[in-house]
Chains A and B, each alone.
Chain A
Amino acid sequence: MLLLPVLCLLAPAEARAYPWLIKHSYGTSCGECHADPSGGELLTGYGRGISMMTLSTVWGGSEGSAKNQRGLERKLALRAPETFAAGAKWATPEMEEGDAADDSAAPAAGDDATASEDAEAAPAETPAVAQGSAQEAQSEPTYYNAFFDVLPLPDWLLLGASYRHLNILPIGGRDFSTFPMMMDLQGQATFGDFRVGGSVGVARVAAGSPFARRAQITANQGKDWNVISRTHYLGYEIVPQLVVRAGRLNLPFGVRIPEHTMWVRQATYTDRESSQQHGVAIAYNAGSLRTEVMGIAGNYQVNPDKFRERGYAGYVEYAASPTAVYGLSSMVTVSQTDRTTLTDGKTTRQVHGLMSRVGFAETFALLTEIDGIFTSSRDPGYVGFAQFDMEPLQGVHFMVTGEMLDEGHPTTPTPSPRAPGAGKPRVGGWLSANWFFISHFDVRFDVIKRTQEDLWVLAQLHAYL
């Protein structure tokens, strides 16, 4: 228990992958912002800068308008990371404080408090990056790399963390429930072309819960605290565009949304809550093409072996434009027990599908995915979702999501009657509001209604970097 407060003090970090960033022309090269080449969790120094400039609401009195937010800072944020490398770097907090002391000077990157018209009028003085000679820049880090914007880190080390607290509101016949959903520290160290990284956290869920269990390191099966590790890996950068990693990894499949209970992630077992698997993955990311393929060796934090799934998962994505990406995903796994029905016997599970992420006018994004599910002893099924995201002000998101699921009717000798989700369509709808109200913090509200389920009303606080 002593560990918990320490973890929480250090916790406010980690930004989940937000696929709706495609509307800002991000999302075609996830590895530039995230340690994971396919996106999610731990941020790079460049990713931190982008996060601070584009993710959160800008507070700054009269200067905090959306126009200013999408002015100079936005243009700089849209620059590819390599354009910063030669002659500029993200400003450090010390530089920002110096700037703040002088009203004529514009704020530096990472300061989400102010955005100056002066800055927009004088781009040559580039306020969001500290200009310097090439020689100076070469002796300094390209991006300001600091834990929680406070603790400077060496270039070779990335650190982050995440705390997500969920409240289930007493609506729809439910009792009020409140609990920490995520308390993780993440890190990655780079030594030349090699890297080592992962996450460690704690979780306490009820006995029999489908959540957190599969990432357990400690072996408490009841309602006690457990240490968990969602990812841990060794990696090697073969060339800058090509990275191979071995360890427990997020499965490369589908749109990498943060909503781990969305059917499209839950029914395909590809969420980032605890569905990671051990294996070897190779990721390629260059130009308009982005792909990752993983050989799955099974989840060695689940026992006995008959429950482990082995096979492959992968996707390929093509960027038709900076704001339109289309892709294919495929996954085949084999286990000795059907994890859904717990029936012993070789169970092959295939999921293949299409996905797209499209942005419109920096305010709207549409994410879609549809997958076919083909499982032993079941008729073919499907799962899909479409999410429309609107960001009327920077950091304020309203989302409408529709989803559908039919995992297929069992073809066993004595099948159960067709039911929604198992032989009949099951549909769900989400209305969500997500406000990144200050850098590193956001609140989110969801109203969820699904076939055969009562209304869910959720409220979350998320601290991250």
Chain B
Amino acid sequence: MSHSWNSIRLLLSGVTLCLATCWSTAASAEEEFPGALQEAADMECVPTCLMCHSVNPGTANTYTKPLAGALLATGEFKRGAGDADGLKRAWQSYASNPANAMNVALIKQGIEPGAKENVCGPVYGCGATFARQRAGSAPAAVAGIFVLVSMLWLARRRR
């Protein structure tokens, strides 16, 4: 390949480097909300989208849970804009209303106040807490046996 093409590729690599280091936000708009809510409500876990949405991950028109309606009703933020600061202001307004004290206590524990269900998701990373392992499931055992038998059969046939 010619030097000119190598130069162009190196130039593009430089542009890519700039993009990576100078010009990045974290993921898309609505993904800000769980983290913003955790911070505003001082929650122990990061809530999943199920705190406000009927599905996980949440989509634009599935914010059907009571908390979503209550936060929008404060008028502090508008939907679709990824307005995490607005969400925090809405939370402060919501939490300052004594009528919501019981719900606020539930939410701090990661419990969705409508269905009273825990909506804390898993934690990620190798260093995160490990629970005691359960016995393997039947499908996994069947698949494992299949793989082992196949290997032995083929290794023997190869000889």
Seen from chain A, the residues whose Cβ lies within 8 Å of a Cβ on chain B are: 4-5, 8-9, 11-12, 93, 96-97, 100, 110-113, 148-150, 163, 165, 168, 173-175, 177-180, 183, 204-211, 213-214, 216-223, 226, 238-239, 242, 244, 279-282, 293-297, 300-307, 310-312, 332-334, 336, 340-343, 416, 419, 421-422, 438-441, 450, 452-454, 461, 463
Contacts and interface: CB of A to CB of B under 8 A. Distances in A.
B60 A208 contact: no
Contacts of A343: 117
A312 B142 contact: yes
B15 to A, nearest CB: 8
B105 interface: no
Contacts of A179: 24-28
Given A12-B12, A438-B8, 5 more contacts: A11-B16, A165-B19, A207-B46, A208-B49, A311-B139
Contact of A207 (B1, B3, B34): B34
8 contacts: A180-B20, A204-B26, A209-B34, A221-B46, A221-B124, A311-B137, A333-B137, A342-B48
Nearest to A334: B137
The binding surface of chain A is classed by DSSP as mixed
B17 A8 contact: yes
B16 A100 contact: no
Given A302-B124, A312-B142, A238 B158 contact: yes
Interface residues of B, number: 77
A221 B129 CA distance: 12
A222 B46 CA distance: 8
B35 interface: yes
B117 A219 contact: no
B139 A419 contact: no
Contact of B27 (A205, A297, A438): A205
Contact of A454 (B54, B60, B155): B60
B51 to A, nearest CB: 9
B99 interface: no
B20 A183 contact: yes
Interface string B64-82: 1000000000000000111
Contact of A312 (B20, B46, B143, B158): B143
A187 B145 CA distance: 29
Contacts of B122: 302-304, 307
A304 to B, nearest CB: 4
B23 A178 contact: yes
Contacts of B1: 93, 96-97, 110-113, 149
Nearest to B34: A208
A165 B20 contact: yes
B97 interface: no
A303 B125 CA distance: 8
Contacts of A112: 1, 5
B123 A219 contact: yes
Contact of A304 (B23, B55, B62, B131): B131
A232 to B, nearest CB: 11
A224 to B, nearest CB: 9
A189 to B, nearest CB: 21
A210 B13 CA distance: 29
B71 to A, nearest CB: 16
B140 A295 contact: yes
Contacts of B46: 207-208, 221-222
Given A208-B34, A208-B49, A336-B134, A312 B124 contact: no
Interface in B39-58: 46-50, 54-57
List the 6 shortest-distance A-B pairs measured between CB atoms, nearest first. A208-B34, A207-B35, A219-B125, A295-B143, A304-B131, A312-B143
A163 B34 contact: no
Contact of A242 (B48, B60, B154): B154
Contacts of A220: 125
Contacts of A217: 125-126
Contacts of B50: 341-342
Contacts of A174: 29, 80-82
